Amino acid sequence: MIPLESLTSCFQGLIPAWLCTCSRDGVPNVAILSHVDYVDSRHVALSFQFFNKSKRNVSENPKAMVRLYDPDTMQVYALRLRFVRTETEGPLFESMRLRIEAIASYSGLKGIFRLLGADVYEVLSVEPVEHEAGLLALAAARGPRSAQPSGVPFTMKALQELSERIHRAPTLDCLLDAILETLESIFGFRHSMILLASDRPERLETIASRGYREGGVGSEVGFGEGIIGMVAEARKPIRISGMLRQLVYADAVAKRAQLSGLSPDAQRIPLPGLPNPESQLGIPLLVRDELIGVLCIETDTSYRFHEEDRAYLEVLGGYLAIAIQNALLRERAEEAEPLPPRPGAPQPSAEVRPRIELTHYRSDECILVDGEYLVRSLPAKILWKILNERQASGQSEFTNRLLRLDKSLGLPAFKDNLESRLILLRRRLEQRCPEIRIVQSGRGRFRLELSGEVALAERP
Amino acid sequence: MPPASSTPPISDPLACFLEHGLSITVATRDDELQPDGATAWAALVDGDRTHLTVFLYEKAVPPVLRNLEQHSEIAVLFDRPTEHRACQLKGRFVSSRPGRAAERSQVERQVEAFREELEAIGIPRAMTAGWSYWPCVAIRFRVERLFEQTPGPGAGEPMR
């Protein structure tokens, strides 16, 4: 029998699989499958999402057949199966559930498009369907593959280089950029973002990104929303390949749900990052049990993430989480010392406006610049406070310690995320309001610089 | 069982869908109730709107016919990949014969439409260039029941 391990690509769900079953009274049935998961060398699992004919058939006659496609060659494989059991909890169920719910949340289908069980089947035989190969002669010439190697060079040398760059980063700000730069230069991940816990409960905010036309700093994701929100909620990595195909499948379910009187959310959550990512990998950044944030890597090319990538990045995520938390703790220690300028920070350009107006909306806790949204929540409170102090007393140097002591900001006594809020504020200003700059002048201190006239207006 | 009403089971819009050029999977079963599946490359609805002919590559046919000659139950799933609109037709095998030269252009048209569907969801043409579909064998069956098969709630229910 062809080893199941050699069919890794087939288990990514890029091409629909087909499940053939037969009732006890001899009537065959075919159904489309959203996913076939590898369990071990003798078993696969199929997602059980709706009570349907296939489910009834295998309950009375456990014999089944699955037709799987290799997405690299379009070679078809026929797997003869015997239904063994349905799992409704445990690691297999959880891993399948998270992937399905991440897709569901993109389509407003949370609660409708969900996993009821992981149906485990014993694999009795695996045969290539010789006359069904898509790529001319290639599949036949190549034969079944050995376990597919990772496309990502997770070598000791690469990991050492990443480690060195992390250790060299003098501030949290530099560290975040160093992580994303390294993911691209060493590992080839061109589109990535880091989201850290927001000051609002169960929300994450993008604090650093790489490879996108719009930086997206400050964009928010709620727990449970999309792949990033699901990673945060479950604190487990999620890998999705073939997003387009799976969203087409979920859209088909959404239409059926509407016809059946169920109502998918009207509001579809926009995908953060690439407009049409083909593969996404979300990794929780955990220190012990605390969620620091989420690292999301995606691609719109034919490259696909493999299980090995997920495993390596999960380990790497733990390391990055510790590095980020250490940087946060170090900056809180507020050892005032000079720092080198942050590379890559934009300097004020000729496009600086001679006069800008900032409006603070107290009830919404947000600031608009010349009528355009700039920032909200704690970063907005901080900006408003320092701009007013500069206007009132000419003060331009501030320390994190003084901000912590200011009760009007309402920072919690423990783990206030002030440093990450300041990074977010500085990056939002660089993108949306270069006339105002927050320049780190030492560990735990910064300087407010203005170009041109800044008018402040307060609204209820 | 055939439908009680005298209305032919396949409506004109459904016939149009079935002949569009779709992913077509044929399921049969053996003596031991072991199901088997094969790809069909085209479908043609009879004028009586009750019979359907599916076209399979000749090398795929022996196990299918071996099953059908013993057990006439057949299920055929049609799926449009760009939207996953799908339906399943179940019925009884009637006959088989080699595909006729005059039918080849119809089979090729449907294969081409299916390739276009796959291209639209990111499967490039090079990936489907090696498909073998001619010579074909035509398998004709009487349609007795139709089922909605679009994934989601209601999948598997009789079509209305």
Examine residue B156 and state whether it is found in any structural domain, yes or no. no
Domains A156-242+278-332 and A355-459 in one fold: no
The tokens for B124 are: 């490039």
Residue B21, domain member (yes or no) = yes
pLDDT digits (tens, 9 = 90+) for B116-143: 988 887 777 877 888 889 999 999 999 9
CB contact under 8 A, B151 and A252: yes
Is B159 part of any domain?
no
Domain spanning A355-459 has what CATH number? 1.10.10
pLDDT at position B4 is 46
Q: Is the omega angle on the peptide bond into residue A340 within 30 degrees of 0, that is, cis?
A: no
Residue B42 has pLDDT above 90, yes or no: yes
Is the residue at B3 inside a domain? no
Predicted pLDDT at B3:
47
User: CA nearest A53: which of B117, B155, B2?
Assistant: B155
Domain encompassing residue B132? 12-148
User: Does residue B36 lie in a domain region?
Assistant: yes
Ordered by start, the domain boundaries in chain A are: 4-94+102-137, 156-242+278-332, 355-459
Hey, what are A129's tokens?
A: 């369907």
Model confidence, pTM: 0.66
Give the residue on B whose Cα is nearest the Cα of A72.
Answer: B127
Q: Which residues contact A191 (CB under 8 A, 6 or more apart)?
A: A210, A211, A212, A273, A274, A277, A297, A298, A299, A300
Q: Among A28, A64, A249, whose Cβ lies nearest the Cβ of B84?
A: A249
- Number of residue pairs across A and B with CB atoms under 8 Å? 161
Classify domain A156-242+278-332 at the CATH topology level: Beta-Lactamase (3.30.450)
Q: Using the beta-carbon criterion (under 8 Å), do A30 and B81 form an inter-chain contact? A: no
Nearest residue on chain B to A302, judged by CA atoms?
A: B122
pLDDT for the residue numbered B51 = 96
**B60–A129: do the CB atoms touch at under 8 Å?**
yes
Q: Which CATH superfamily is domain A4-94+102-137 in?
A: Electron Transport, Fmn-binding Protein; Chain A (2.30.110.10)
- Are B29 and A28 inside 8 Å of each other by CB? yes
Cα separation, B69 vs A151, in Å, equals 48
Residues of B whose CB is below 8 A from A242: 122
Do A133 and B130 make contact, defined as CB atoms within 8 angstroms? yes
To the nearest whole angstrom, how far is the Cα of B102 from the nearest Cα of chain A? 23
Q: Which of A30, A138, A248 is the best mutation test for B, with the most CBs of B within 10 A? A: A30
Which residues in chain B have their CB less than 8 angstroms from residue A137's CB? 130
Half-sphere exposure of A2 (CA within 13 A, CB side): 18
Q: Is B7 part of a structural domain of the chain?
A: no
Question: Looking at residue B32, what is its pLDDT?
Answer: 95
Would you say residue B47 lies in a domain?
Answer: yes
What CATH number has the domain bearing residue B59? 2.30.110.10
CB atoms within 10 A of CB A288: 8
Give the separation between CA A267 and CA A290, rounded to whole angstroms.
Answer: 30
Comparing CA positions, the residue from A431, A265, A274, A456 lying closest to residue A361 is A456
Tally the domains of chain B. 1
Question: Does the distance separating the beta carbons of B149 and A31 come in below 8 Å?
Answer: yes
Question: Which long-range contacts (C-beta less than 8 Å, at least 24 apart) are formed by A414-419?
Answer: A416/A199, A417/A196, A417/A197, A417/A199, A417/A328, A417/A378, A418/A332, A418/A378, A419/A172, A419/A327, A419/A328, A419/A331, A419/A332
Which pLDDT tens digits describe chain A residue by residue (460 residues)?
A: 788 877 877 776 667 789 999 999 999 999 988 778 889 989 999 988 776 789 999 999 999 999 998 877 778 899 999 999 999 999 899 888 887 887 777 666 666 667 889 999 999 999 988 877 665 544 444 444 444 444 556 677 777 888 888 888 888 888 999 999 988 888 888 889 999 988 778 888 888 988 887 777 888 888 877 778 888 888 888 877 666 666 666 666 666 666 666 655 544 444 456 766 777 888 999 988 889 999 998 887 654 566 667 777 888 888 899 999 888 887 777 555 555 555 555 554 546 788 899 999 988 888 999 988 888 888 999 999 999 999 999 889 998 888 888 888 888 766 677 888 899 899 889 888 999 999 988 878 899 999 888 999 999 8
Percent helix / strand / coil, chain B, rounded to 5: 30, 40, 35
Nearest chain B residue to A21 by CA: give it: B35
